[in-house]
Amino acid sequence: MVSSARVHTEPRAARPVVLAAVAVGVVLAVAAGLVVGFRLAGYVLAVELAVVAVLRLLLPVRVVGALAVRSRVVDAGIAGVLAVALAVLTWTTPG
């Protein structure tokens, strides 16, 4: 008797790498905020959001994992808009 169970052959090794890179970026932003100041932390988070937008545009869903919530264009667009907004807010905040 032949089994009809599907065998998943997708490479799952890249999922933790993408999410770990996002987590490392957040840790770097917090460390920069504590050591240097809020401006550097804001810029680090803005760059990280921009990188997430590019990764979401270029990588397939099976690789980005939890970064894929909506369609590719919507996810990347929201991350890009948030990156620009955070950079502008960081730049225009007095102090």
Domain that holds residue 30: 14-92
- Has residue 42 been placed in a domain? yes
Whether 86 and 45 have beta carbons less than 8 Å apart is answered as yes
Contact 44, 28 (CB under 8 A): yes
Is residue 3 situated within a structural domain? no
In a domain, 9, yes or no: no
Task: Output the average pLDDT for the chain.
Answer: 87
In a domain, 5, yes or no: no
Contact 93, 81 (CB under 8 A): no
Query: Which residue shows structure tokens 């599907």?
Result: 6
Number of domains in the chain: 1
pLDDT band at residue 32 under the 50/70/90 scheme:
very high
Q: 7 lies in a domain?
A: no
> Which stretch of 24-28, 33-37, 59-63 has the lowest confidence by average pLDDT?
59-63
User: 42-85 pLDDT, tens per residue?
Assistant: 999 999 999 999 999 998 888 888 888 899 999 999 999 999 99
Mention every residue, 6+ apart, whose C-beta is less than 8 A from residue 25. 44, 45, 47, 48, 51
